[in-house]
Amino acid sequence: MGLIDDARQVAEQFEYPPKEVNNGVKEFIRQMDEGLQETEKSLSQIPTYVTAVPNGTEKVALEPMRSGGVYLAVDLGGTNFRVCSIRLNGDTTFSLTQSKVAIPRELMVAKKSEDLFSFLAKQIEAFLKTHHNDHFEEHRQKKEAGQNMTNEHFLQLGFTFSFPVQQIGLNRGHLIRWTKGFDIADTIGKDVCALLQTEIDALHLPVKVAALVNDTVGTLMARSYTSPGKTGTLLGAIFGTGTNGAYVEKLDKITKLKKMAGSGDYDASTGDMIVNTEWGSFDNYMNVLPRTSYDLELDKESNNPGFHLFEKRISGMFLGEILRRVIVEMIKGGKTELFKDESSGSNDIHSTTTIAYDSPLYKQWGIDTSFLSVAHADQSAGYRITRQALARDLSVDAASSEDAEAVKILVEAIGKRSARLSAVAIGAVV
């Protein structure tokens, strides 16, 4: 059997045919209903206390806030932290100023919550000094003068926190678990809004955390504002480092809401509430999710085994790692001819194929999912672009066109399964 046949045989393990897609949709709907009735289910179906969506006519009033009609928003959703200031213009448009900073890896796995949240507060401080320094200085001077501070002197901040939380109010929510490579045990069970507010207050910033919002909820709200239509926005979905979705549900279907301890107040007049599905954990029961040995080993060696099994098959953080494990298995022990051109006579670029001893192939998370995008899109002669990426990103030098074609076959199989699984979630909600 040749290399291409070997690659196709491995790729068959990732097949997810239409029949299984349909079965997945049915099970997704069942687990959605289950999560609306009870807590601690595979699909968390978290009530957000947001009971209406915008229609594009909303404006931020200049008063009573002394900030010139500006709201702040921060987004902790993965490897980056964003700080923004927003003004709604009332005509489906808005003005936005933003900054972005990478989260240091050591803070993602810090021992104490305050290590991470103090870093976040300092980024807010830096943003205010850069973009709203007049308001910042006015607040500082009044505080030093001993003047009383009322709400009009504070910027209202929306906290987009893209991790599973048990929300018990508009600006109150306890962390259920970390995902996306974060692992700070000290934060579990704590109110993330209170943690951020404590660090903001320590820096004496004119900011109040007014709302806790999942990124999917923010996506749904933003789309509702910018593109109001006759049908309205049905779904806010994220397919990035992780994956999740939020949608508008009828209040009377969220039967667990009345049974939840410490449940906060909400406006029931609309009859609706946005629900954060936390669909990254769809089918942790493994009733219908496909499984390969690569999926099982990835989960076993992750920082949250047994959780977010849906996410681990479709999101940006994990697809590169699935591919890496497949490639390592294929080259291990000479099982296939992948990257085995040992003489220039058999290599179409007339050079020996070598894999550096410290290649990212041999390191967990060594392949970034962007590599899959490059290989999938490659239409160049002899898969030149993929071969260049193998050398540049993975230290695989002088790979043959057959090597690159085999990798492309694997990439397409992993990507197609991911796309079809994503369709399960969208199809179930819509």
**Residues annotated as catalytic (active site), given as ranges:** 162, 177, 215
State how far the alpha carbon of 12 is from the alpha carbons of 98, 175, 359, 360, in Å.
Answer: 44, 39, 27, 25
Residue entry with tokens 């993975």: 394
Spatial contact of 363 and 369, defined as CB atoms under 8 Å apart: no
What is the SS3 string spanning 28-64? HHHHHHHHHHCCCCCCCCEECCCCCCCCCCCECCCCC
**Half-sphere exposure for 62 (CA within 13 Å, toward CB):** 1
DSSP per position, 128-180: HHHH-HHHHHHHHHHHHTT----GGGSEEEEEEE-S-EEEEETTEEEE----T
Query: Torsion angle, CA of 360/365/370/371, rounded to 10 degrees?
Result: 40
Encode 322-350: b = buried (16+ Cβ within 10 Å), e = exposed. bbbbbbebbbeeeebbbbebeeeeebebe
What is the SS3 string spanning 297-347? HHHHCCCCCCCCCCHHHHCHHHHHHHHHHHHHHHHHHHCCCCCCCCCCCCC
